[in-house]
Amino acid sequence: MTQPQHIILMGAPGAGKSTQSRLLKARYPLHVLATGQMLRDEVTKRSALGLLAEAYFETGALLPDDVMIAVVTERLIRLAPNQGFLLDGFPRTVPQAEALDKLLQRLARPISAVIALSLDDKQVVQRLGGRRMCEGLGEPFPLHIDDKASVDACLRLGGRIVTRPDDEPEVIVERLRMYEAETAPLIDYYRRAGLLHTISAEGTPEEVQAAIVQILEQTSNPPVTG
């Protein structure tokens, strides 16, 4: 990438946003703003924001727009002007997207691309039902309970295997319902803006990343026409 990119990564719960964010951060100089992890960190610290977030996590509901807008605004305005970023988990509603547009216009940071990871509900339930987090080894990272090698490595290195509250079976169903009701309309919002790129999330993490990289390279170096 020759210019800092400002990327939004979208997708239903379990589509692999956290995994792709981690892979892209390793490849490009991107500051990842993963709102879900930021809120979970606040829960761990038992801050006022964390206590509020915990109540929403337990039901699968989304935090109020004004709370999420304030959280992201506070972090974006602190970034250096030449720092690219990737938003994982924000925006999740059209009002959040509209507020983000106004903020980025004020900061002169236009969105480069919106990547939407597509995955059917059956796959989402299978992934989230077996998803666990490895904690205690730096930044928490997701793994699947069926991935014995990753589970063993986490435990061998002194990590802990935990289930996120929002990955409990009854919460998964509610998260999907909320996604369809409030987040899916963002697809149309960003399609109309000419920023949307939809990618199947059914492949391996490496296959999905390759598709994303191809889009980002084209966005960073658009073909010369005329």
Q: What is the pLDDT of residue 71?
A: 83
Query: Catalytic site residue 78?
Result: no
Which string of DSSP letters, residue by residue, matches the chain? --S--EEEEEE-TTSSHHHHHHHHHHHS-EEEEEHHHHHHHHHHHT-HHHHHHHHHHTTTPPPPHHHHHHHHHHHHTTS-TT-EEEEES---SHHHHHHHHHHHHHHT----EEEEEE--HHHHHHHHHHEEEEESSSS-EEEETT-HHHHHHHHHTT-EEE--GGGSHHHHHHHHHHIIIIITHHHHHHHHTT-EEEEE--S-HHHHHHHHHHHHHHHHSPPP--
Q: What is the mean pLDDT of the chain?
A: 84
Quick one: average pLDDT of 162-189? 80
Query: Catalytic site residue 17?
Result: yes
Query: Catalytic site residue 148?
Result: no
- Which of 17, 40, 127, 132 does the annotation list as catalytic? 17
Quick one: average pLDDT of 19-46? 85
- Which of 22, 40, 131, 132 does the annotation list as catalytic? 131
- Which of 40, 92, 127, 132 does the annotation list as catalytic? 92
pLDDT exceeds cutoff 90 at 84: yes
Q: What is the pLDDT of residue 226?
A: 38
Q: What is the pLDDT of residue 60?
A: 63
- Which of 25, 75, 164, 191 does the annotation list as catalytic? 164
Question: Does domain 6-121+184-220 correspond to CATH entry 3.40.50.300?
Answer: yes
pLDDT exceeds cutoff 90 at 109: yes
